[in-house]
Chain A
Amino acid sequence: MKITRKEFLRITGLSVAGAGAAKLVRAIGVAGPAPPSSVSAKRWGMVIDFQRCRPGDDCDDCIKACRLAHNIPEIPERAHEVKWVWKERYEKVFPFQQSDYTRRAYQGHVLPVLCNQCAQPACVRVCPTAATWKREDGVVMMDWHRCIGCRYCMAACPYGSRSFDWEDPRPYIKHLTADFPTRTKGVVEKCNFCEERLANGRAPACVEACRQKAIVFGDLNDEQSPVRQLLRARFSIQRQPELGTGPSIFYLV
């Protein structure tokens, strides 16, 4: 069989065009986010057991661990506090699930609170620079180099989970941890669900530090995960789920 030069060029050209087209079609096909497969897609969540947690007995292991892991400044003025995980009175955490009787029964009880790592985070919706965004595994992240310090996210967060560095936080860091960044003045910060530890396959610092094993961490999308097992076995509540934010933090009553 003899191929003329003209035919050769025609076939080569068509093959190249065909390969290119196939590539283009494939590129368009996968350009969107890959559909979450039930095996790999994670949504990190946390369950806090009200019965086990004993912060009333001056226990603040989780808070100390977080502070150390994330170079959180200890600012004496209440107005300028920076808080990632902290203790709050029971009736303040669940103000809309109270009766006079529960208020009396649980008087003085405190609970750890932190960023809810919402499925529909209002802070992410309002941020004008996408300096805060939600990862595919559900962690709501902060970019401290992009944040312009407008504090719109603080106004948007219904849970009071965000803090602003009203002044340079560095002088207020008691023990400096070298492998986590410090922040500058003029940016917003909050709990990052220990994403730096998750990347290394470790549980968040507060979970590890809790001697009461009151904080359980895991994948909400995995039916066999410890968090899902707890949520199946016991009655749990979230902070203001009626706002449609989809908190990833659950409290066992």
Chain B
Amino acid sequence: MLMFEKAMVGSRRYWEWIVFLLALIALGGAFYLRQLSYGLAITGLSRDVSWGLYIAQFTFFVGVAASAVMVVLPYYLHDVRQFHSITILGELLAVSSVTMCMLFILVDMGQPMRVLNVLRYPTLHSIMFWDMVSLGGYLLLNAVIAYTMLRSEREEVAPPSWIKVLVLLSIPWAVSIHTVTAFLYSGLPGRTFWLTAILAPRFLASAFASGPSLLILLCLLLRRLTRFDAGQEAIQKLGVIVAYAMSVSIFFVLLEMFTVFYSHIPEDLEHFRYLYVGLDGDRHLAAWMWVSVITGVAALVILLVPRLRKNAVLLPLAAVLVIASLWIEKGMGLIVGGFVPAPFGDVTRYSPTLPEWLIVLGVWAIGALMITVFYKITVSVREAK
């Protein structure tokens, strides 16, 4: 009924990949059980840096989820026909990403068995409550839309008219998930690194660069591995979207830097100093941040020059560079940078531990498994026609 039977038949290579992912999930799961019994002391987190890789990954993937709007909006509002075949891929990517986000929150909790307390004692003045509402709603919207669209594609009938309402609703909803996620950070009085009104637009810009980059890579993979072809035009259009979004994203970061460095308020400066040059002799994040800068600029050069962007090798390279750059900036620097220096000015080093990485790997594997199964179903439906 849910078309899952289509995911149960596949080549040997397909099954090897599935088994590989299941093995990673089992590995992550085993370490998660250890974290559950021993506590979060298993991670590199501390009293000063109390959020780290888990929350940073959550933030990054909220962006990937929100970026589905970059194919949904052009297709449904501007009738961009080239996106006809990939819109559903964007929506399914959103479903997988939101699921990963929820798992990242869950593995970060000290008392995960109490998670339902968020529903039992709904606290409207907490942004976390609203983040749960917006992420949950977005997951539901995209799951219903993608499933309905795919089923009407299989039955070769026009999609029901009510789906249009949900599609239109999903557009502002996508913006809302990343805005509310930014509000988690940007409303905290003592954390000057996050206390900036531009955080939500910055999140959205970086999301609209990293998400479509991932979609480009997935489309190219599908073209190589299956008979499904998103079409050169659609992929190039995604490239243009990434080019714009990446430009805006870098522009926003530079805006932040101008305010901080020109006003020269020490409290605001220190976080940027810590990230890019190091503070109190601790510069272990600086190397990462400069990799982010270099990959980001390199990607931008490829994306902005049409000749380079249209190159079949350079476009996927640019996509990889964009993801790497923003993954470091948002998936690490943004969260850790907000906590260092701590309220008492201490510079506390945070490095994720091996168990922490493996738990993250397990969550990624769950996301990859969902993507694999969803795309397998989609491709099978289309190949059957």
Chain A residues within CB distance 8 Å of chain B: 78-81, 83, 88, 92-93, 95-96, 122, 125-131, 146-152, 154-160, 163-168, 184-188, 240, 243-245
CB distance from A167 to the nearest CB of B (A): 4
Query: Would you give the 0/1 interface string for B192-229, flagging 1 where the beta carbon is closer than 8 Å to chain A?
Result: 00000000000000000000000000000000000000
A80-B47, A159-B343 are known contacts. Are A96 and B267 too (CB-CB below 8 A)? yes
Q: Which segment of B84-92, B103-111, B157-165, B239-247 sits at the interface?
A: B103-111
Residue of B nearest to A147 (CB): B111
Contact between A128 and B40, CB atoms less than 8 A apart:
no
Q: Which of B45, B121, B338 contacts A130 (CB 8 A)?
A: B121
Chain B contributes a number of interface residues (CB within 8 A of A) equal to 45
A122 and B118 form a contact (CB under 8 A): no
A/B interface sample: 6 pairs, CB < 8 A:
A88-B344, A129-B123, A146-B114, A155-B339, A157-B343, A158-B188
Q: Which of A149, A160, A243 contacts B344 (CB 8 A)?
A: A160
Kindly list chain A residues whose C-beta atoms are within 8 Å of the C-beta of B184: 152
Binds A, one of B125-133, B145-153, B299-307, B313-321: B125-133
Tell me the chain B residues, 63-118 only, with Cβ under 8 Å from chain A.
105, 108-112, 114-115, 117-118
Q: Lowest 10 CB-CB distances: which A-B pairs, in order? A: A149-B110, A158-B190, A186-B110, A79-B46, A160-B343, A166-B41, A128-B128, A185-B39, A167-B39, A167-B41
In the complex, the chain B residue whose C-beta lies closest to that of A81 is: B47
Whole-angstrom CA separation of A181 from B338 in the bound complex: 33
Please, which residues of chain B bring their CB within 8 A of the CB of A160? 47-48, 342-344
Instruction: Name the residue on A nearest B350 (C-beta).
Output: A79
Nearest CB in chain A: distance from B31 CB, A: 16
Are A148 and B110 neighbours in the complex by a CB distance under 8 Å?
yes
For chain B residues 33-76, which have a beta carbon within 8 Å of chain A?
Answer: 38-41, 45-48, 50-51
- B-side contacts of A167, CB under 8 Å: 38-41
Knowing A128-B118, A150-B128, the reply to whether A158 touches B110 (Cβ < 8 A) is no
Q: Give B162-197 as 1s and 0s: 1 = Cβ < 8 Å from A's Cβ atoms.
A: 000000000000000000000011011111000000
A78, A160, A165, most chain B CB atoms within 10 A: A160
Q: Which of A96, A151, A155 contacts B110 (CB 8 A)?
A: A151
Partner of A164, one of B40, B125, B190, B191: B40
Counting CB contacts under 8 A, is B236 at the interface? no
Q: What chain A residues lie within 8 Å of B338 (beta carbons)?
A: 155
A146 / chain B contacts, CB cutoff of 8 Å: 114, 117, 121
Which residue from B45, B46, B344 sits with its C-beta under 8 Å from A92? B344
A125–B124 Cα distance when bound, in Å, is: 9
Whole-angstrom distance from the CB of B276 to the nearest CB of chain A? Answer: 22
Once the chains bind, are B342 and A150 in contact (CB under 8 Å)?
Answer: no
B194 CB to nearest chain A CB (Å): 9
What separation, in Å, do the CA atoms of A129 and B120 have in the docked complex?
A: 8
B343 and A150 contacting across the interface, CB-CB below 8 Å: no
Residue pair B123, A158 in contact (C-beta under 8 Å): no
Task: Answer whether residue B352 sits at the interface, using C-beta atoms and an 8 A cutoff.
Answer: no
Q: Would A156 and B48 be within 8 Å (CB), given that A88-B344, A96-B267, A187-B110 are in contact?
A: no
Docked Cα-Cα span, A157 to B191, in Å, equals 9
Partner of B188, one of A79, A83, A122, A159: A122
Instruction: Verify A152–B128 contact, CB threshold 8 A.
Output: yes
In the complex the two chains form, is B345's CB within 8 Å of A245's CB? Answer: no
- Inside 8 A of A158's CB, which chain B residues have their CB? 188-191, 343
Are A122 and B121 in touch, CB under 8 angstroms? no
Tell me the bound Cα distance from A39 to B185 in angstroms.
40
In the complex, the chain A residue whose C-beta lies closest to that of B38 is: A167
A129-B121, A148-B117 known; 5 other A-B pairs, CB under 8 Å? A122-B190, A128-B128, A148-B114, A164-B40, A167-B38
A83 CA to B346 CA, complexed, in Å: 15
Give, as a whole number of angstroms, the nearest-CB distance from A106 to chain B.
Answer: 15
| B188 in contact with A164 (CB, 8 Å) | no
Residue of B nearest to A169 (CB): B39
Closest to A95 in B: B345
Known: A80-B46, A131-B117. A166 touches B39 (CB 8 A): yes
- B189–A122 CB distance below 8 A: yes
Beyond A79-B348, A148-B109, whether A166 also contacts B191 by CB under 8 A is: no
Q: Which of B117, B127, B338, B348 has the most CB of A within 10 A?
A: B117
What CA separation (Å) do A157 and B189 show in the bound complex? 8
Known: A96-B267, A152-B128, A164-B47. A187 touches B41 (CB 8 A): no
User: Do the beta carbons of B125 and A125 come within 8 Å of each other?
Assistant: yes
Instruction: Indicate if the CB atoms of A151 and B51 lie closer than 8 Å.
Output: yes
- Chain A residues near B45 (CB, 8 Å)? 79, 166
A187→B343 contact, CB < 8 A: no
Given contacts A95-B345, A155-B51, A155-B188, contact A165 B117 (CB under 8 A): no
Chain A residues near B50 (CB-CB < 8 A): 151, 154-155, 164
Task: Say yes or no: A168 contacts B189, CB within 8 Å.
Answer: no
- Taking CB atoms, residues of chain A closer than 8 Å to B346 are 92
Using Cβ atoms and an 8 Å threshold, which residues of chain A touch B189? Answer: 122, 156, 158, 243-245
Neighbouring A residues of B110 by C-beta, 8 Å: 147-151, 164-165, 185-188
